[in-house]
């Protein structure tokens, strides 16, 4: 099977407007992935499926991932001139990872028996622009899994034939798998409370028990 | 279809004749003997006769942290009591396991460094007290080492062997330390400490 | 272009509006409490007489949000929860999870542990398929007797597992880098006796059904699934092989030590229910072959990687996707780690959930009674569908 770099080069040769990025993976599994931009995702997916050498006819797994905004502060030593003397000063540098929702596709080839190629698509933000194109017209197997990503994360798939909740009931409002999901506070009886559950149970009891 | 009926007939009449064809056990009049390794819910082991003095648990809270559904709740005691090696250890003032939450995964047994918590084999524990009846506290959970030997004989003998070995090692160490301390007291002609 | 274009339009207003429809189409909800739906699964079917016009599967009744629980538990603590995914096949769930974590952290598994893993996985496949052929003929109306024969054999396997791990269904047996405890020579001897007796049971079972006209008439030509649709719809496992596609992850990925065993992959021709039934019976015979070879070759040695830690396990940041051929299809785990003791993202790729994608396509135009056995042949377990 071609390496990810070769696939990336071929796709970029075919569609110069497409923006692809190789995402590294530091764990020993070494499974690197290809981040594609939302506008050209459908064409790239079709190319991956129909190309005679790659022939990725089987989409194995569709995963939604929630990346809330993360601000990390790292201390960096810099040499600056203070009062005429060169000193090494520690400065705190703030790195900000913007918030987005991500969809990860694992593609395998049944005909050629190779794989996986991992595709990623990101939304613009977690609030109103949480749209990605749906790859269900290319691989029918994505249908239920994209519905699940919509149900649990709130990622809207444009072009999905039937986007509605699949695991939660239809009238449910929130998105359970998000990192900032707050579960309803109706503990009836908490016999062995721990950590946050203990705090919540105490607060709940202070308010007068069951709702 | 006649062939099929022949098989059914063989099984049906065979059930009166051979033991293998009749797997049904008329519970609760008849009970199957449980296997040795069966695990149901945890219990705390104590050595000797007194359930609280001989309790092996030292409230290290490792089982509480590792329990996946977090069904164990431990409160450490303020005072200490001696354990099987003779050292003073704290003990759990409260040790609650909610067995309606416990999923019998045995992780608490695997991570306990003191062989204090083991799996019981009793499963007929239904009660009509919905909230308190399935919350086992320290007193209900503590069962003797003899009980442990009865339900898991091979495991219990192995654990006993290991604990006896550690106890012997600890005793040998204290004896050696006592002898080393006794020696300088008997021979005070050792040169004084050098200036720092 | 894509096969998707030929599928019927997805219009989920089940009853068409208008006076002409009254008295012609009947909407039935085969609700969650139903003896034939293999769990809390609901099918809204619209019938024209007895033929299915639309079918909408509804599930989520057993959704426990296992993936979120796993984000709050350590890697080891999720292992007992994986038992409860596909509750018939605990061992293979454990293995898939252990495989993914070992890929993520780069752990090695000793040889004896690999052999034991193969043994318990094939035993799991045996008892799952036994259970399934029992349920399959039960759904067709055999009213319990063959199911009880199947369960009688399954009990023998469960007794073996109870002796090994302590529990009959929720084993919590695999660890990252090996197993929880070793097998004894005694256990292996009993396993050998069981394997010898299993062929006899299968022969007897086949005698009951191979020439049974009712089974043949009801399953041949029913619920046909084409090869292209199966591949496009991400179907895996015995359903895919019944359509004639030679894809078995044990042969493709060669995870564990499966490349040392000599076994065949049964393939079907038509993709109908009879093929799926017979493939499972043939897979059982292949599993027995693998068990015999494993029992012959199992070496002595450690059962756990000495470098692996039980407590305080923190894999490096990164991600991994590990998959195995479970009894129902491809079971995969996708883990994203950020260096902390809990996974950042933990995803189960459930075969039963994805195999349900084409349930409607297979049932259209069939009788309602066939819809029940088509669902039975998909082999779903709600613990896996809903997680």
pLDDT digits (tens, 9 = 90+) for C261-299: 888 898 988 888 888 888 999 999 999 999 999 998 888
Residue B22 predicted with pLDDT over 80: no
Tell me: pLDDT of B134 over 90: no
Q: Which B positions 61-80 lie with beta carbon below 8 A of chain C?
A: 62, 66-68
B96 with A192: Cβ contact below 8 A: yes
Written in H, E and C, the secondary structure of chain B is CHHHHHHHHHHHHHHHHCCCCCCCCCCCCCCCCCCCCCCCCEEEEECCCCCCCCECCCCCCHHHHHCCCCCEEEEEEEEEEECCCCCEEEEEEEEEEECCCCCCCCHHHHHCCCCCEEECCCCCCCCCCCCCCCEECHHHHEEEHHHHHHHCHHHHHHHHHHHHHHHHHHHHHHHHHHHHHHHHHHCCCCCCCCCC
The Cα diameter of chain C in Å comes to 75
A191 within some domain: yes
The number of folded domains in chain C is 1
Q: Is C59 on the interface with A (CB under 8 A)?
A: yes
pLDDT for the residue numbered C123: 92
- Domain membership of residue C28 (yes or no) is no
The reply to whether residue B98 touches residue A192, judged by beta carbons under 8 angstroms, is: yes
- What band does C11 get if pLDDT is binned at 50, 70 and 90? very low
Average pLDDT, chain C: 85
pLDDT of residue C13 exceeding 60: no
Which tens digit of pLDDT belongs to each residue from C17-36?
A: 444 445 678 888 888 887 77
Assess if residue C137 is contained within a domain: yes
Q: What integer pLDDT is reported at residue B195 of this predicted model?
A: 47
Can you give the pLDDT at residue C349? Answer: 92
The number of distinct structural domains making up chain A is 2
Complex ipTM, two decimals? 0.85
Question: Exposed, middle or buried by CB within 10 Å (0-12, 13-18, 19+), for B30?
Answer: exposed
Task: Identify all chain B residues contacting A194, using CB atoms and an 8 Å cutoff.
Answer: 64, 70, 73
Which residue does chain B place closest to C77, by CA atoms? B68
The domain B37-173: what is its CATH number?
3.30.70.3270
Statement to judge: residues A164 and A197 lie in one domain? no
Reduced to 3 states (helix: H, G, I; strand: E, B; else coil), residue A93 is: strand
Residue A59 belongs to what domain range? 4-66+101-170
Work out the number of other CB atoms within 10 angstroms of the CB of residue B91: 20
Q: Is residue C280 part of a domain?
A: yes
Residues A196, C303: Cα–Cα separation, whole Å: 38
Q: Which pLDDT score is estimated for C98? A: 92
Q: B touches which chains (3+ CB pairs under 8 A)?
A: A, C
Tell me the C-alpha distance between C232 and C354, whole Å: 11
Q: Write down the residue that tokens 């359970």 correspond to.
A: A176
Give the pLDDT score at C115. 92
**Residues A118 and A46 reside in one and the same domain:** yes
Q: Is residue A88 part of a domain?
A: no
Residue of B nearest to A198 (CA): B73
- Provide the sign of the torsion angle of the four alpha carbons B174, B179, B182, B187, taken in this order: negative
High-pLDDT (> 90) share of chain C, %: 19
Q: Do C208 and B36 touch (CB under 8 A)?
A: no
C-beta atoms surrounding C269 within 10 Å:
10
Measured from the Cβ of residue C383, the count of other Cβ atoms closer than 10 Å reads 20
Task: Look at residue A203 and give its three-state secondary structure.
Answer: helix
CA distance C95 to C259: 17
Query: Do A140 and C316 count as a contact with CB atoms less than 8 A apart?
Result: no
pLDDT score of C324: 92
Over residues C180-191, the mean pLDDT reads 89
Sequence ranges of the domains in chain B: 37-173
Residue C271 lies in a domain: yes
Residues A157 and A202 in one domain: no
Same domain, A57 and A25: yes
Using an 8 Å CB-CB cutoff, list chain C residues near A106: 321, 332, 334, 349
Lowest mean pLDDT, pick from B67-71, B182-186, C50-54, C225-229: B182-186
Q: How far apart are CA B152 and CA C113, in angstroms?
A: 24
- Judge contact between C127 and C157, C-beta under 8 A: yes
Rounded to whole angstroms, the Cα distance separating A75 from C93 reads: 43
Three-state DSSP at A199 gives helix
Instruction: Name which of C38, C128, C55 is nearest C89 in CA terms.
Output: C128
Same domain (yes/no): A160, A205: no
What confidence tier does C255 reach under pLDDT thresholds 50, 70, 90? confident
The per-residue pLDDT for C333 is: 92
Q: How far is C230 from chain B (nearest CA, A)?
A: 34
Residue ranges making up the domain that contains C289: 66-386
Given a contact cutoff of 8 angstroms between Cβ atoms, the answer to whether C187 and C160 are in contact is: yes
Secondary structure class of A142 (helix, strand, coil)? helix
Confidence of residue C7 (pLDDT cuts 50, 70, 90): very low
Q: Distance (Å) from the C-alpha of residue A176 to the closest C-alpha of chain C?
A: 8
Is 70 exceeded by the pLDDT of residue B194? no
DSSP label at residue A46: H
For residues C347 and C100, is the Cβ–Cβ distance under 8 A? no
Kindly indicate the confidence band of residue C3, based on its pLDDT and cuts at 50, 70 and 90: very low
Query: Which residues 300-339 on chain C approach chain A with CB closer than 8 angstroms?
Result: 315-321, 323, 330, 332, 334, 336-337
Residue C5 is predicted with a pLDDT of 36
| Phi, psi angle pair for C168, to nearest 5° | -85, -30
Query: Is there a contact between A28 and C105 if contact means CB atoms under 8 Å apart?
Result: yes
CATH number at residue C334: 1.10.645.10
Closest CA to C58 of A166, A125, B10: A166
Same domain, A150 and A197: no
Q: How confident is the model at residue B2 (pLDDT cuts 50, 70, 90)?
A: low
* pLDDT mean over B18-33: 68
CA–CA gap between residue C303 and residue C183 (Å, rounded):
9
pLDDT of residue A201: 66
pLDDT score for B185: 60
Across the beta sheet with B135-136, the strand order is: B72-82, B88-98, B135-136
Residue C80 belongs to some domain of the structure: yes
The pLDDT, as a whole number, for residue B16 is 58
Residue C15 is predicted with a pLDDT of 47
Domain for residue A45, yes or no? yes
- The nearest CA of chain A is from the CA of B94 a distance in Å of 11
> At CB < 8 Å, which residues of chain A contact B?
189, 191-194, 197
Q: What is the pLDDT of residue C4?
A: 36
pLDDT by residue (tens digit) across B64-115?
888 888 888 888 888 777 776 667 788 888 888 888 888 888 898 889 888 8
Distance from CA of C80 to the nearest CA of B (A): 6
Residues A60 and A122 both lie in one domain: yes
- The lowest-confidence range among A77-81, B43-47, C40-44 is A77-81
Res A188: pLDDT:
60
Same domain assignment for residues A149 and A107: yes
The CATH number that applies at residue A119 is: 3.30.460.80
Residue C345 confidence (pLDDT) above 60: yes
The pLDDT of residue B159 is above 50: yes
Q: What CA–CA distance (Å, rounded) separates B154 from A43?
A: 64
Q: How far apart are CA C80 and CA C89, in angstroms?
A: 13
User: pLDDT digit string (tens) for B111-129?
Assistant: 988 888 888 888 888 888 7
Give me the average pLDDT of each 10-residue run along chain A (211 residues). Answer: 80 80 77 85 88 87 88 77 71 83 90 85 83 89 90 89 85 85 70 68 63 43
Residue B186's pLDDT is 58
Is residue A94 included in any domain, yes or no?
Answer: no
What are the φ and ψ backbone dihedral angles of C44, each rounded to 5 degrees?
-90, 110
CA–CA separation, B180 and C89 (whole Å): 60
Chain C: residue whose CA lies nearest to B7: C208
C-alpha C46/C-alpha C223 separation (Å) is: 17
Mean pLDDT of B25-42: 79
DSSP helix/strand/coil, A139: coil
Q: DSSP letter at A63?
A: E
CA distances to C73, C108, C116 from C308, rounded to whole Å, are: 18, 9, 18
Above 50 in pLDDT, residue B139? yes
Provide the pLDDT for residue A77: 76
C185 or B48, greater pLDDT: C185
Task: Please tell me the distance from the alpha carbon of residue A75 to that of residue A54, in angstroms, as a whole number.
Answer: 45
- pLDDT at residue C373 in the model: 87
Inter-chain CB pairs, A–B, below 8 Å = 22
| Yes or no, beta carbons of B106 and C166 under 8 Å apart | yes
pTM of the shown model: 0.88
């Amino acid at each position: 099977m071609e390496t990810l770099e070769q696939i990336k080069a071929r796709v970029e040769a075919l569609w110069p407007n497409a923006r692809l990025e190789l995402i590294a993976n530091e764990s020993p599994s070494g499974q690197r992935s290809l981040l594609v931009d939302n506008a050209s995702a459908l064409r790239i997916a079709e190319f991956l499926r129909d190309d005679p050498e790659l022939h990725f006819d089987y989409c194995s797994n569709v995963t939604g991932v929630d990346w809330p905004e993360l601000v990390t502060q790292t201390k960096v030593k810099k040499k600056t001139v203070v009062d005429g003397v060169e000193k090494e000063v520690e400065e705190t540098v703030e790195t900000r990872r913007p918030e987005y929702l991500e969809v990860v596709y694992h593609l395998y080839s049944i005909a050629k028996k190779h794989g996986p190629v991992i595709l990623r698509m990101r939304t613009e933000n977690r609030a109103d622009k949480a749209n990605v194109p749906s790859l269900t017209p290319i691989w029918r197997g994505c249908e239920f899994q994209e519905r699940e990503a919509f149900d649990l994360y709130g990622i809207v798939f444009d072009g999905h034939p039937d986007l509605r909740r699949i695991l939660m009931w239809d009238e449910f409002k929130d998105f359970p798998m998000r990192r900032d999901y707050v579960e309803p506070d109706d503990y009836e009886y908490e016999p062995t409370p721990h950590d946050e559950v203990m705090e919540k149970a105490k607060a709940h009891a202070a308010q007068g028990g069951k709702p | 279809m006649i062939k099929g009926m022949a098989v059914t007939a063989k099984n049906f009449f065979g059930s009166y004749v051979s033991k293998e064809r009749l797997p049904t056990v008329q519970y609760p009049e008849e009970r199957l003997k449980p296997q040795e390794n069966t695990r149901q819910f945890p219990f705390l082991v104590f050595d000797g006769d007194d359930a609280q003095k001989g309790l092996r648990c030292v409230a290290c809270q490792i089982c509480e942290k590792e329990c996946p559904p977090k069904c164990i709740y431990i409160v450490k005691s303020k005072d200490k009591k001696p354990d099987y090696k003779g050292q003073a250890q704290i003990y759990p003032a409260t040790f609650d396991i909610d067995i309606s939450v416990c999923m019998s995964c045995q992780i608490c047994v695997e991570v306990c460094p003191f062989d204090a918590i083991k799996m019981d084999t009793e499963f007929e524990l239904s009660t009509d007290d919905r909230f308190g009846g399935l919350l086992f506290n320290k007193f209900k959970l503590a069962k003797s080492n003899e009980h442990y030997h009865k339900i898991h004989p091979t495991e219990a003998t192995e654990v006993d062997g290991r604990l006896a070995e550690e106890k012997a090692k600890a005793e040998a160490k204290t004896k050696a330390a006592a002898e080393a301390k006794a020696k300088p007291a008997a021979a005070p002609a050792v040169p004084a400490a050098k200036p720092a | 272009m894509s096969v998707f274009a030929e599928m019927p339009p997805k219009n989920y207003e089940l009853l068409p509006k208008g006076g002409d429809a009254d008295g012609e189409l009947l909407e039935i909800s085969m609700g969650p409490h139903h003896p034939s739906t293999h769990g809390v699964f609901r099918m809204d079917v619209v019938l024209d007489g007895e033929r299915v016009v639309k079918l909408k599967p509804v599930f989520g009744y057993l959704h426990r949000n296992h993936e979120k629980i796993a984000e709050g538990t350590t890697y080891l603590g999720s292992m007992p929860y994986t038992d409860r995914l596909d509750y018939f096949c605990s061992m293979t769930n454990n293995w898939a999870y252990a495989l993914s974590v070992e890929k993520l952290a780069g752990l090695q598994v000793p040889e004896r542990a690999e052999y034991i893993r193969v043994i318990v996985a094939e035993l799991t496949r045996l008892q799952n398929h036994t259970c399934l052929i029992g349920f399959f003929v039960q759904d067709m109306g055999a009213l319990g007797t063959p199911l009880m024969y199947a369960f009688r054999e399954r009990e023998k396997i469960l007794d073996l597992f109870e002796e090994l791990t302590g529990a009959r269904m929720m084993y919590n047996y695999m660890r990252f880098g090996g197993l929880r405890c070793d097998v004894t020579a005694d256990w292996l001897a009993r396993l050998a006796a069981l394997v010898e007796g299993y062929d006899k049971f299968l022969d007897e079972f086949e005698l009951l059904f191979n020439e049974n006209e009712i089974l043949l008439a009801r399953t041949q030509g029913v619920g046909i699934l084409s090869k292209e649709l199966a591949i496009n719809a991400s179907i895996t496992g015995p359903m895919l092989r019944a359509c004639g596609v030679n894809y078995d992850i044990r042969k493709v990925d060669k995870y564990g030590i499966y490349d040392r065993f000599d076994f065949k992959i049964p393939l079907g021709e038509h993709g109908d229910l009879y093929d799926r039934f017979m493939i499972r019976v043939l897979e059982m015979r292949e599993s027995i072959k693998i068990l015999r070879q494993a029992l012959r070759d199992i070496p002595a040695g450690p059962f756990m990687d000495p470098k692996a830690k039980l407590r305080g396990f923190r894999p490096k940041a990164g991600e991994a996707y590990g998959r195995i051929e479970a009894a129902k299809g491809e079971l995969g785990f996708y883990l994203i780690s950020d260096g902390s003791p809990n996974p950042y993202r933990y995803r189960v790729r459930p075969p039963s959930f994805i195999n349900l994608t084409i349930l409607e396509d297979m049932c259209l135009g069939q009788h309602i009674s066939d819809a029940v056995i088509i669902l039975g042949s998909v082999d779903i377990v709600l613990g896996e569908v809903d997680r």
